[in-house]
Chains A and B, each alone.
Chain A
Amino acid sequence: MSKRFLAAALLFSVSLAPAYAAKTSLVVGMPIEPPGLDPTIAAPVAIREVTWANLYEGLVRIDRNGKVQPMLAKSWEVAPDGLTYTFRLQTGVKFHDGSAFDSADVKFAFDRARAPNSTNAQKQILAPIEAIETPDPATVVIKLKETSGNFLTYLGWGDAVIVAPETAENNKANPVGTGPFKFKSWTRGDRVELTRNPDYWQKEKTKLETVTFRFISDPQAQVAALRAGDLDAFPNLSAPELFSEFQKDARFKAVAGNTEGEIVAGMNSAKKPFDDPRVRRALMHAVDRKSLVEGAYSGFGQPIGSFFSPNHPAFVDMTAVIPYDPAKAKALLAEAGHGGGLSITIKTPQMAYASRSAELLSAMLAEAGVELKIIPTEFPAKWIEEVFRGKDYDMTIVAHAEPLDMDIFARDNYYFNYKNDKFKALIADAAKTTDEKARFAKYAEAQKILAEDVPALFLFQLPKLGVWNAKLNGLWENSPVPSNDVTEVTWSE
């Protein structure tokens, strides 16, 4: 008896023996492959999801809660008039090619991004800059033409990361930044591999040795790869209907967070009958957002009543402004002279969230006597040509992924064809307001205007359905900026 017990104990201890050290590699899945690896020259979200905070760093960064934190600038002062920003830089920072980082690189990077021939996707964030001065290698002074309330936040985006003059040209294929990971290889159509940067300036922060981003567009294949252990994490799963299975599985952690993407059904306000706000309000009254989220996204995703991310501290829930009320919808339509019914079309991209939402909208609007015909419109090429540039549409549906992009409703010539001078003035005013409280109050007012005027049917916030190995810590649950920041990721035993 005691012998057997001993044997069992021995066996037990043997099985425990390889008390292995924590894993130091990470394989992350993404649905879309980036077209290049330079976030300062093109818009696609996938570029930021590989590079931001991992390969490149900015003067400041956005943390997982959406707050601005110091990065390459260890501190800064803003002059009382809000027009002069003085940044004190970290010293001893090196780019991946070994060259030193200093104030000249900052000036170069921003001048390159705001140059007339630059293809930077968010040039307007650097537009207020009048001049950049570099009194010494560790100091940058940025002078603005006009105050910019979100200037520091903008500097934390991927569009404003610091690149070196020697290597900037080749960053698209061979990225060189100051981040904790260096570029190793890119197998087109399959994966991008990064390795630890041994000379990183905050060496103790990052535990991982290698990070691999794999690109898998098919939702079934994403799930299979996670189950097989080929992937350690999929921060943004494509198919919500497959997500709930992971919620029940103890091997995985499944977190439904928010992205910055609002799903809206834009209406062509320059075209009849959408030039009449009563018609737009009537259509909004006809939409049961809760059922829509249930049917189109398996219940994940927060219903929205205006165009502002719930991740942002200035967010106000506006879903009650125009609630689901089919009777009111019919009455408003009759008042606007469409009591006999209305027939409109919706140009619908092929993405599952869009086509499913369009089918549900079509069924819901039918209850209010509106016939909504679905016209499949291939995204991006055909959609950009017909809807975005051509403005040849009644209604369309797409997710707007950029953070703080409420100003699209204030832009002339944007595809909504929406004109509201009061809103436009308010947004311009908010952009210049440096006092946070005052700025947030203006954002709240702007949200209210959109909620009441409905230039687009505000449907729901695209969720970030993250699935990862239960032993993995440090991934982001929400994405206040498009990113897969893996710098704080660790494995537990």
Chain B
Amino acid sequence: MRGILRLRWNPALLVGGILTTLLIATALISLFWTPESPTRVRIALRLKAPLEAGLLGTDHFGRDVTSLLMVGAWNSLAIAWPAVLLGAAIGTAIGCAAAAWKGVADEIAMRVSDVVFAFPAVLSAIMIGALVGSGPLAAVLAIAVFNIPVFARVTRGVALQVWTLDYIAAARALGKHPLRITWEDVIPNIAGALIVQVTIQLALAILTEAGLSYLGLGVRPPNPSWGRMLSDAQTYLSQAPHLAIAPGVAIALSVLGLNLLGDGLRDALDPTLRGRDVPV
């Protein structure tokens, strides 16, 4: 708690923090309560406008859009979080190794990253879907795969800087093993940069999950997903625009919130920017 209070608060951090808290809170509440069951079909109430039936109206099956959005928030995070954490864990390990041993190991790690980087998440999702069957697992793996090179590069970049510092040189001179140096001295120093990257990648992961579900590669029906809500809404655009606006705004606000949070955290945590606060 003291750590949070010690942060240098800035507008991006504040707005991003609020939006992200709202997102997480909505997702958590949906586990216990939604205004209606999100799978309850009421044909008599189909395509009702907002406030005509429920806060945000109903979809083409008469399901409550508010409830669908809430459970969609949970599904979105339930795919994005594990995917980003998995990608971050593997990517960080590779980046640290590359920075610690340099040379051939570094070269191989970075070129492999380049190759993986060249595959868009949608393409890897289709390939992984063919292997494990399309569905939430394929989506998590695909987003994780596409996060590995991102974290490998970021980690390598900041870790290389840390490795040039005097106290690391001292530790090496004392014969400390590179693994221990990485664990005890490098990682605590780059944690800030990684946390920032995780928030930004979460935003991208939510967007990618929506994209995959839009294409039918993510969460399975009738389990709601923002991406599929958008794709379902497409042909109803002229009759019931709220069906597209609701998930669209939800995705936009979530991505915006996480990006602002990432920016704000970077400003608050990045040691290289600290000097800016010192009055000239």
Contacts and interface: CB of A to CB of B under 8 A. Distances in A.
A38 to B, nearest CB: 32
Interface stretch (B39-47, B87-95, B112-120): B39-47
Contacts of B134: 376
Nearest to B40: A363
B161 interface: no
B238 A295 contact: no
A376 B220 contact: yes
A364 interface: yes
Given A374-B220, A376-B216, A376-B220, A294 B235 contact: no
A360 B41 contact: yes
B43 A241 contact: no
B41 A363 contact: yes
Interface string B197-225: 00000000000000000001000111000
Interface string A350-372: 10100110111011101000000
A374 B223 CA distance: 10
A133 to B, nearest CB: 54
Interface string B24-68: 000000000000000111010010000000000000111000000
Contacts of A376: 134-135, 216, 220-221
Contact of A295 (B40, B46, B135): B46
Contact of A241 (B60, B220, B221, B222): B60
B238 A245 contact: yes
B189 interface: no
Interface string A364-404: 10100000001110000000000000000000000000000
Interface string B98-121: 000000000000000000000000
Nearest to B60: A295
B173 to A, nearest CB: 59
A239 interface: yes
A288 B42 CA distance: 12
A241 B239 contact: yes
Nearest to B61: A295
Between B135, B235, B237, B238, the greatest number of chain A beta carbons within 10 A of the residue's beta carbon is seen for B235
Given A241-B236, A242-B235, A350-B216, A363 B222 contact: yes
Given A219-B235, A295-B61, A350-B216, A359 B43 contact: no
Nearest to B47: A241
Between A355, A363, A374, the greatest number of chain B beta carbons within 10 A of the residue's beta carbon is seen for A363
A344 B196 CA distance: 44
B39 A355 contact: no
Contact of B235 (A241, A291, A364, A374): A241
B44 to A, nearest CB: 8
A294 B43 contact: yes
B10 interface: no
Given A359-B222, A376-B134, A220 B216 contact: no
Nearest to B43: A291
Interface string B222-257: 100000000000111111000000000000000000
Contacts of B135: 376
A245 B236 CA distance: 11
B46 A294 contact: yes
B263 to A, nearest CB: 36
Contact of B43 (A295, A355, A358, A366): A295
B16 to A, nearest CB: 35
A294 B41 CA distance: 12
Interface string A274-301: 0000000000000010010011000000
A197 to B, nearest CB: 38
Interface string B253-275: 00000000000000000000000
Between B61, B134, B216, B237, the greatest number of chain A beta carbons within 10 A of the residue's beta carbon is seen for B61
Contacts of B43: 288, 291, 294-295
A363 B61 contact: yes
A375 B133 CA distance: 10
B235 A359 contact: no
B77 to A, nearest CB: 22
A359 B238 contact: no
Interface in A214-266: 219-220, 239, 241-242, 245
Nearest to A366: B39
A364 B220 contact: no
Between B60, B135, B216, the greatest number of chain A beta carbons within 10 A of the residue's beta carbon is seen for B60
Contacts of B62: 295
A270 B221 CA distance: 27
Nearest to B228: A355
Between B40, B41, B61, B216, the greatest number of chain A beta carbons within 10 A of the residue's beta carbon is seen for B41
Nearest to B59: A295
Contact of A355 (B41, B221, B236, B237): B221
Contact of A359 (B221, B237, B239): B221
Interface of A: 219-220, 239, 241-242, 245, 288, 291, 294-295, 350, 352, 355-356, 358-360, 362-364, 366, 374-376
6 contacts: A220-B237, A239-B235, A295-B61, A360-B41, A363-B222, A366-B39
List of 7 A-B pairs having minimum Cβ-Cβ separation, nearest first: A363-B41, A291-B43, A239-B235, A294-B43, A295-B61, A359-B222, A295-B43
Given A239-B235, A295-B62, 20 more contacts: A220-B234, A220-B237, A241-B60, A241-B236, A242-B235, A245-B238, A288-B43, A291-B41, A291-B43, A294-B43, A295-B60, A295-B61, A359-B41, A359-B221, A359-B222, A360-B41, A362-B39, A362-B221, A374-B222, A376-B134
